[in-house]
Structure formats: C-alpha cells, structure tokens
Amino acid sequence: MEQKIIILDFGSQTTQLIGRRVRELDTFCEILPYNKFPKDDPSVIGVILSGSPYSVHDPEAFKVDLGDFMGRLPVLGICYGAQFMSHTLGGKVEKADSREYGRAHLETVDTANPLFKGFEQNSQVWMSHGDTITAIPDGFECIASTRDVKYAGYTNGKDVWAVQFHPEVFHSVQGSLLLKNFVVDICGSKQAWSAASFVDTTVAELKEQVGDDRVILGLSGGVDSSVAAVLLNRAIGKNLTCIFVDHGMLRKNEFRDVMHDYECLGLNVIGVDASEKFFADLAGVTDPEQKRKIIGRDFVEVFNAEAKKITGAKWLAQGTIYPDRIESLNITGKVIKSHHNVGGLPKEMHLQLCEPLKWLFKDEVRRVGRQLGMPEHLITRHPFPGPGLAVRILGDITPEKVRILQDADDIYIRGLRDYKVRLSGEEARKVLAAGVPATMTDGEIEVSLYDQIWQAGTVLLSTVRSVGVMGDERTYEHPVALRAVTSTDAMTADWAHLPYDFMAKVSNEIINKVKGVNRVCYDISSKPPSTIEWE
C-alpha cells in the first residue's frame, strides 16, 4: 500500500465506522489495537485515536506512547483520543457535571483552521462522553465549542487536532467533511484507494504469492467467497478449484442456481450434494449450538474428502473480510468471538492460507465484484448463515421442515426483490453510497425493498403449532416469522419498516401456497438486545 491512515482502537463501538468513513475517501486505513502502532511503516500518512468506554482516570484505561508518532505525523484524537492527549500533555480532564450524550451544536468554530474548513456555524455534532476537557495543554488553542463543552475541538496549530464529538457517526452532520479535511488536506492522501486499484494490485500480489501452485476455495454462494473466487480466477485461472457443498439447508433452488452462476463466470467448481449425510447426522437434534457444531464438523469432513482428490494443492483460499478479523480479536489481542473464516485450518489439510479480501469491508467487496463484472444479483445477495436454514428452524431438522421453510422464504425474498420503492434525500444518498445501481431522476431513485435492507429471512417455528381456519376446516399448523433488518456492518441492526401492503400480500401468499403454514408474524426486534438470526 502506498499510503495508509492508522486508526488506533481504544475500544470504541464506532471504531469500525471511522474506518469506513476513511475508506469512503478512497484512502486505505488499518485499524490496530491502541498499543500496536507500526513504528517502521513508511506508508503511514496520519494517525487517528478512537474513542473508548474508559475514562482517562480509570486504572485500567488504555494508554499509548504518543512519542511513537506525535511530532512526525498528523494526529487526530476523537473523544477519548482527544481527552487522552490533553490529559497526557498537561491539560485537565474532569468528570462532567452531567454526562454529555446526543446532539449538540458548534456555537463557535474556527473555519479558518484546516480541520474545520467549509464548516457552517452551529453545525450539529454527536457527543458521547462522561468526562470533559476543562483545560488544554500549553501551546494549544481552542477551535470549536458547544454551549456545554468549551473545548469541543483544539489544536497545536501544527500537527495535532482533537475533537470531543464523534465525526464518524451519521448525526454529526458535517463529520465526513471534517474527516476529509484531515485525511485529504492535512495528511495529504492522494485518494488512490479504489476498487479498480485494489483489483490490479491484488491480482499482481496473488500471482506473486501463489505462483504456479494449486489453490482450493470453499464456496458458499455468498458475496464474499464469490468475489474471492473471481479475483483468484483472474490471477491464477485453471490453478483454482472451487468446492461448493450443499448441506441440504440452502434456500430454494439455490444449489442449482448458484452453480449455474459460477459456471457462467468461468469458475472451475465441484458441486457436492451431501444433504443426505447432514440430515442423518442432525436427526433429532434440537439444541442450536449442537446443530451448528454438527454442520461445521460434517462440512469439514465433506470438504476435506473432496480436497484430497485435488493433487498438488498447497493453498486454501477463504472469503475472510476485514470485519471478520476485527470482530475476532479485541484490542488486547485476545479472541472474543470465533468466526467461520478466522481460526486456522484443519491440521490434517497441511495447506497455507490465502485471504485476498482480508482488508475489505462488505460494501468494498461489492464494489470489487462490480469492478470484476460479476452479475448484480450475486453482488447484492444478503448475508446468509453458514449453517443455512438449520438456524432458522426452531427444533429438530427434517427434509419436510426444510421444504416448508424454503417455500415460504422463496415467496418472501422474491416479494422483496419485486416490490419497488422511490427514495429521495438522505435515504436515496445512503442507498447510492452503498453502491446499489440506481439512477436519480428529479431527486428520486427507484430501488427494490431487497436492495434497501441489509438482511432478510424467514424463520420456521416448528416447535409451535397454531390454530387456523381454511375454508370450512380447522387447521393446526406452524407459524413462520419474517425478519428484515437495516444495518451497515451487522454489529448493530434495526428492524426494517416494511410497507403494510407488501406485508399483507406476502403473508397472504405464504399462507395460501405453503402447505404446513397457517400464520405469519413479523419480527420487530433490534440488535441489541436481540440478534439478527434466531439461533
């Protein structure tokens, strides 16, 4: 990488969001634990210190040696980062009279300062802190204030800037402008990070890394593994062999349709129908975690059996993306969440790991897919759990229950794709920023409901039966729950407010056409406290 911004993570929930905002400026960034600054990396052009759940006065508060970068690189401290620098350099940080959360307005702002160039007076920002800076270090000056926060922004006038609000969040209206001022104008980013440059660079790196070796890649049908496959195929062609395992719990006709897509993309794909094995091993199992473990174990067994047939393979490729790696480690380097693409290889495979997408966020993966010329329906596919419909069936798994859920889910997903909505203003901007193909006409765009939401799926409550009436007969069948959420990275999610006429139509069609279902519910839970999947 020619240029990069380093974001030192002090444990903030919005650190990934800082990274996304920097990437939106066509600038590569790397999120690292607060104590892992790369001292000898000449490509670093600036440093951002994130927020933190801690107070600078807490004994366990995270601390960094500012001398590692201050004085030779531009530095921006955000919230805790601003307070830590002030506290460390001789200023004063004290507990606020009342915790400062939510909207605030910059009543005074120095628009002559490069960090606030182009800012409007009274610009809305988002506060989230219990401490506040009551004195800044000698040699520093205040450049922004709100009614309640005197030192909302400060600088030494040379290479250090700090703000006590969060420019990365949506509610800081000119936050993206502030980050652009820092990354582009102050740090000097050439804004050369793009999907096209990533493809060219990565293809060259893969050719050098892999050479003439054979590579195996496990396909899931999802966007990450699919983009990884097409990228590798461009680099090494016939030396890539993909394996797509059907465990019997994919969506309706998914195995057939995805195999057709992969063949059209020119990929060398081995399709394995192992559904009989999976159903047999899952028979009678109701515990969600046990179901996941059985599916994971069987997948490895089936995958390994096929991989052993490929002579000369030395690499295993995976569609691991950047949030997978960040979520799997906390800022002290300890594993806090295992992930299906992070955690090593089965020892008996003796393969090296190749992860061509490991620096990308999900929206960037989709941009790369478009750059590679992949079909839009593959690129915009919603995330889908590795265990498939097994974690959307409450209770034990049978082929009949999978059939019921596949039919109901197919009606729901097709309905989301077919239903068009018109958007304007900020809603339209967010959809276009996500890379969804749409044309703005008279300030409006038309997109499908499917493209407007992050993830949707149907859940079969097979442990429950509800009474219904069809014709003159009493029924005693299963309810299904529809789930649709909006999100940017799945770390938090809110339920999607689907139109009533759409929900009425889909509910009616599912009950009339899917034998075994007589009631449709809609899940209006957010994450947290709920999760996106039910199991």
Residue 60 burial by CB count (10 A; 0-12/13-18/19+): exposed, middle or buried? Answer: exposed
Query: In sequence order, what are the beta bridge partners of 62?
Result: none
Q: Which of the residues 29, 30, 100, 166 is marked catalytic?
A: 166
Q: Which two tokens stand for residue 439?
A: 């044309």
Q: Is 60 a catalytic residue?
A: no
DSSP run (H or E) holding 128 = strand 124-135
Query: Max alpha carbon distance in the chain (Å)?
Result: 84
- Of 341, 398, 389, nearest to 535 by C-alpha is 389
Cα separation of 316 and 334, whole Å?
25
The vertex-194 CA angle with 486 and 160, nearest 5°, equals: 85
As a whole number of angstroms, the distance between CA 389 and CA 277 comes to 16
Which of these is catalytic: 30, 87, 129, 168? Answer: 168
Catalytic residue among 29, 79, 242, 354: 79
240-246 and 108-109 beta bridge pairing: unpaired
Residue 500: what are its φ and ψ, rounded to 5°?
A: -60, -40
Query: Residue 187 catalytic?
Result: no
What single-letter amino acid sits at 533?
E
Active site (annotated) includes residue 166: yes
Q: How far is CA 512 from CA 348, 411, 470, 517, in A?
A: 50, 11, 9, 9
**Alpha carbon distances (Å) from 357 to 30, 61, 69, 489, 519:** 14, 33, 28, 16, 42
Catalytic residues: 79, 166, 168
